[in-house]
Amino acid sequence: MHQLLVQRLNEKQSIIGIFGLGYVGLPLLLRYTEAGYRVIGFDIDEQKIKTLSEGRSYIEHISNSSVKNAINEGSTVTTDFSKAGEVDALIICVPTPLNKFREPDLSYVTETTDALVPHLRAGQIISLESTTYPGTTEEELLPRIESTGLIAGKDIFLVYSPEREDPGNEKYTTRTIPKICGGHTSACLEAGLALYRQVIDKVVPVSSTRAAELTKLLENIHRAVNIGLVNEMKIVADKMDIDIHEVIRAAATKPFGFVPYYPGPGLGGHCIPIDPFYLTWKAREYGVHTRFIELAGEVNSSMPDYVVSKVSTALNTAKKAINGSKIIILGVAYKKNVDDMRESPSLALIHKLTSMGATLAYSDPHIPVLKCSDSHTGFNVDAFSTELSAKTLKEFDVVLIATNHDKFDYDLIHEHANIIVDTRGVYLEPSTKVVKA
């Protein structure tokens, strides 16, 4: 059975199903279409499906033309999961967030799998790409799949292949980022390699789905820990009146043994702030306390409070308090030059400063409208981006640079702002206006 599937995948005769058309699934749909496969994209969001079917993109760094070309090439999008029976490959790209207790929430993965189970048939391959803890594929997907009577590795094939998308990164694309793949059995792995080798330049096989799952976590925990280190170094350097960004630039000239990481107002995105919790939660099952990882998480989580303290100190020098001050936050995306707000530390800054009595506004050329709410805290935001000008900048007591988008005119900001709190090291030269945070 798997040889027939491998042959169909290699000859691009298979139909590919992508489940979840967000920052991971949509680029994958476009890449498979570009490579010559017929693709069906699935999502529960009717507005997304309507937008895509009209040939339009809802993600800034993905062009309308690329979506339109995919539709014109025969790829389709739908909310009808019964069509899952028509595809040969089912690639699951749904979110894996945390619940209110900061524990893994696999509901999107399990509910998607449950929706697919009635439509599964022999000769299909299922690949989970969502970031998760080691064991998820075999503990959660495998029993559901085999409840149909199909045997994984014989009738149907199961792999885990973690996504590695980096929104806004023009250097690396879906095609050029190497792909990890682990199979439930050797036959599953062979099918998984056939699934991805036609669309990804380099596919890296590993021994199991669990190894692939842990690989993804290691990649992101490596970043989280190093960012935690440099955030702590920033606080130390600030106490010593040393510019941490100058130090990082100097250290980065060493051609070996050092990789530069940069401090900021906190962690954001769909991976770095979340993934460590998946491993620390699972590690407790084995009686392991991941102290190093958790300490880095504590440091990173404390950074919005550190920034607020720097805002307070900056206002104090002007004989003002946060309560009653007008503050504008520049950048609400979690990183520069993207329209992605997931887990953005800017939202924590808005919440904290608002609760302290500040009058807040924001400016972000990539996010013209900001709508978010948190049912647990009662925090709600519904605002429009403020256009920066000499006049508007002068109206604010503090300009807080939270995300260093290239589209901001930093010369204009420096000339007309009263106080600048810089969390990203934008301003290299010393200035009486600029407070490093």
Per-residue confidence in pLDDT tens, the chain, 437 aa: 788 999 999 999 999 999 999 999 999 999 999 999 999 999 999 999 999 999 999 999 899 999 999 999 999 999 999 999 999 999 999 999 988 888 899 999 999 999 999 999 999 999 999 999 999 999 999 999 999 999 999 999 999 999 998 887 888 999 999 999 999 999 999 999 999 999 999 999 999 999 999 999 999 999 999 999 999 999 999 999 999 999 999 999 999 999 999 999 998 877 778 888 899 999 999 999 999 999 999 999 999 999 999 999 999 999 999 999 999 999 999 999 999 998 899 999 999 999 999 999 999 999 999 987 665 555 677 889 999 999 999 999 999 999 999 999 999 999 999 999 999 999 998 899 999 99
Same domain, 202 and 81: yes
Q: Per the structure block, which two tokens stand in for 142?
A: 């495998």
Q: How far apart are CA 330 and CA 344, in angstroms?
A: 12
Q: What is the pLDDT of residue 379?
A: 65
**12 phi-psi bin (left φ>0, alpha ψ -120 to 50, beta other):** left
Same domain, 20 and 166: yes
Q: What is the pLDDT of residue 368?
A: 94
Same domain, 307 and 245: no
Q: How far apart are CA 21 and CA 163, in angstroms?
A: 13
Residues 6+ apart with CB under 8 A from 128: 92, 109, 136, 137, 141, 159, 160, 161
Same domain, 115 and 170: yes
Same domain, 237 and 161: no
Same domain, 6 and 113: yes
Report the run of H or E that residue 225 belongs to, with start and end: helix 209-239
Q: Point out the domain boundary residue: 186, 207, 228.
A: 207
Nearest residue to 94 via CA among 175, 5, 27, 23: 23
Catalytic residue among 181, 188, 271, 372: 271
Containing domain of residue 42, as a range? 2-207
Q: Point out the domain boundary residue: 207, 240, 259.
A: 207
Q: How far apart are CA 134 and CA 112, in angstroms?
A: 19
Same domain, 351 and 242: no
In the 8-state DSSP scheme, what is residue 137?
I
User: E strands of 220-333, at which residues?
Assistant: 326-330
Q: Per the structure block, which two tokens stand in for 107?
A: 């509901």
Per DSSP, the three-state class of 24 is coil
Strand duo 369-374 + 379-384: pairing: antiparallel
Q: What is the pLDDT of residue 374?
A: 64
Same domain, 173 and 265: no
Report the run of H or E that residue 112 belongs to, with start and end: helix 107-116
Same domain, 117 and 238: no
In the 8-state DSSP scheme, what is residue 171?
S
Annotated catalytic residue 188? no
Same domain, 26 and 157: yes
As for how many domains the chain has, the answer is 3
Same domain, 218 and 264: yes
We report the CATH number of the domain holding residue 251 as 3.40.50.720
Q: How far apart are CA 163 and CA 127, in angstroms?
A: 11
Q: What are phi and psi of 327, to 5 degrees?
A: -125, 135
Q: Point out the domain boundary residue: 174, 207, 240.
A: 207
Same domain, 228 and 173: no
